[in-house]
Amino acid sequence: MGSFVKDKTSSMTEFLEKCGGYAVVDGGFATELQRHGADINDPLWSAKCLITSPHLVTKVHLDYLESGANIILTASYQATIQGFVAKGLSVGEAEGLLRRSVEITCEAREIFYNRCIKGSWDFSNAGKGSRRPVLVAASVGSYGAYLANGSEYSGIYGDSVSKETLKDFHRRRVQILAKSGADLIAFETIPNKLEAEAYVDLLEEGIDIPAWFSFTSKDGVTVPRGDSITECAKVADSCNKVVAIGINCTAPRYIQDLIVSLNKVTRKPIIVYPNSGEVYDGLNKKWIKSEGESEEDFVSYVSRWRDEGASMFGGCCRTTPNTIRAITKVLSGESPTPSKLKI
Ligand SMILES: C[S+](C)CC[C@H](N)C(=O)O
Ligand SMILES: N[C@@H](CCS)C(=O)O
Ligand SMILES: [Zn+2]
C-alpha cells in the first residue's frame, strides 16, 4: 500500500498504468451479501454483517477478486459510530468494527494472492506473470445513508444540517478509516454539493491517504439535491487529495452524459460504477424494476464509457460478480461486443 499513499497527485494515474490503463472496481456489496442470504433490513444495512456474518463479507470480497477486480471496497458504507452506538455498542467497539471492515478486506486480498500463487490461475491486465494490482478502498456512505431511509437518493437533510454538522458527523469515522491500512477512501453515493464540501474540509484537516469522490444522479445532469454535477465535481477537483472523481449507484443510461460533464471540469481519472437501473424503495428496503429503464445490456455500455474518457469501471447495487467478470473481459479485449448479460 505504501507507494500508493505517498504520492497523492499521481498515485491513481500510476496505479491505472500498472493495471494496463483501466481499473476494474468491484460490484454491489450490500446487495451481494443479501443474495447470499444476509438479512440487511436494518438501520446498519450492510454494516450489520460486520457483526453478524463477517465470513460472508470475506466471501463477497473474494468473489469480486476472482471476477477480476482491481479495487475492492470495504463493508463500511453504512458503518458509522453513531449507528453502532444506537445499536448498544460502545464507542470503542464501534471504532473497532470500522477498523475490522478494512482488516477483513486486506485479509481477503492476501487470501486471494495466496490462492493465485498456489493455483497459478490468475492473470494480470498488465501482463502474464505479474501479480494483479489490487487496492483496498474504505467506503464512506453519506449522512443520508446513515439515516437509513434511502435519503442518499434525495440529498435532502433539512435546514438544520449544515456543513459543520456533516463534518462533525463524519470526522472520527474518516480519521479511523484513514489510519486503518486502507489504500484510499471512497466517498460514495454523494447526493449533494454540501456533503462534498464537508469531505474536502475533512481531507484538508490532515487525512493522509487519498480519496475518490463519487456522486449519484437520477437524471444525468444533477445530483439528487439539485446541484449540477459539474458544480459538485469542481468541489472535488479543487482538492489535491482527491485522485478520482465519478458516479456510482446511478442507472446505467445516465452515465455517458455524466462522463461528458465531468470531463468538462476535471482532468483527474473518472470512475463509474452504476447500479442495475432498478429503483430503491428506502422505506421497505426493496428494489423495484424501473419501467423507464431500457433493457440495454449494462456491460455493452462499458466500451462507450471508456471511449468517453472514464478509466475505472465497476458496479453498484444489484450488480454481481457476473457483471464484474463481464466488465473485466471487455477491458481485457476478450469480448469487445459482449452478448446480453443478466445482471
Ligand atoms: C444506496 S441505498 C440502497 C443504501 C441503503 C439505505 N441507506 C438504507 O439503509 O436503506
Ligand atoms: N459500496 C456500497 C455502495 C452502496 S450505494 C455497496 O456496494 O453496498
Ligand atoms: Zn449502490
Distance 217 CA to ligand 1 centre (A): 15
- Cα angle at 121 between 115 and 122, to 5 degrees? 80
Report the mean per-residue pLDDT for the chain. Answer: 92
How crowded is residue 95: how many other Cβ atoms within 10 Å of its Cβ? Answer: 18
Can you tell me whether residue 279 is helix, strand or coil?
strand
Distance 103 CA to ligand 2 centre (A): 18
Answer yes or no: is 232 a known binding residue: no
Distance 317 CA to ligand 2 centre (A): 6
CATH number of 2-331: 3.20.20.330
> Does residue 198 carry a pLDDT above 50?
yes
pLDDT digits (tens, 9 = 90+) for 199-217: 999 999 999 999 999 999 9
Give me the residues paired with residue 228 across strands: 222
- Give me the torsion for CA of 153, 159, 164, 168, rounded to 10°: -60
- Residue-level pLDDT at 311: 98
Q: How far is CA 136 from the centre of its chain?
A: 10
Least Cα distance to 86 among 43, 45, 116 occurs for: 43
pLDDT digits (tens, 9 = 90+) for 58-95: 999 999 999 999 999 999 999 999 999 999 999 999 99
Q: Which three cell numbers mark 184?
A: 484510499
Atom of ligand 2 nearest to the CA of 249: 5
- Residue-level pLDDT at 4: 80
Least Cα distance to 326 among 52, 44, 67 occurs for: 67
Identify the residues whose C-beta falls under 6 Å from ligand 1: 45, 78, 145, 148, 150, 152, 189, 249, 280, 282, 285, 317
CB 320 within 8 A of CB 35: yes
Pairing of strands 286-288, 270-273: unpaired
Contacts of 162 (CB under 8 A, 6+ apart): 194
Distance 323 CA to ligand 3 centre (A): 14
What residue spans define the domains of the chain? 2-331
Q: Where are the beta strands (DSSP E) in 175-274?
A: 184-190, 211-215, 242-248, 270-273
ipTM: 0.99
Can you tell me whether residue 193 is helix, strand or coil?
helix
Answer yes or no: is 49 a known binding residue: no
CB 261 within 8 A of CB 229: yes
Q: Candidates 42, 142, 248: which one to mutate for ligand 2, based on the most atoms within 8 Å of Cβ?
A: 248
Q: Candidates 283, 285, 319: which one to mutate for ligand 1, based on the most atoms within 8 Å of Cβ?
A: 285
pLDDT digits (tens, 9 = 90+) for 211-266: 999 999 999 999 999 999 999 999 999 999 999 999 999 999 999 999 999 999 99
Question: Which of 328-333's residues contact partners 24+ apart within 8 Å by CB, and which partners?
Answer: 328/24, 328/67, 328/68, 328/69, 329/68, 330/299, 330/302, 330/303, 331/20, 331/22, 331/24, 331/125, 331/302, 331/306, 332/20, 332/68, 332/123, 332/125
> Does residue 125 carry a pLDDT above 60?
no
- Give me the torsion for CA of 28, 31, 34, 39, rounded to 10°: 120
User: What's the CA gap between 286 and 282, in Å, rounded?
Assistant: 7
CB of 316 closer than 6 angstroms to any ligand 2 atom: yes
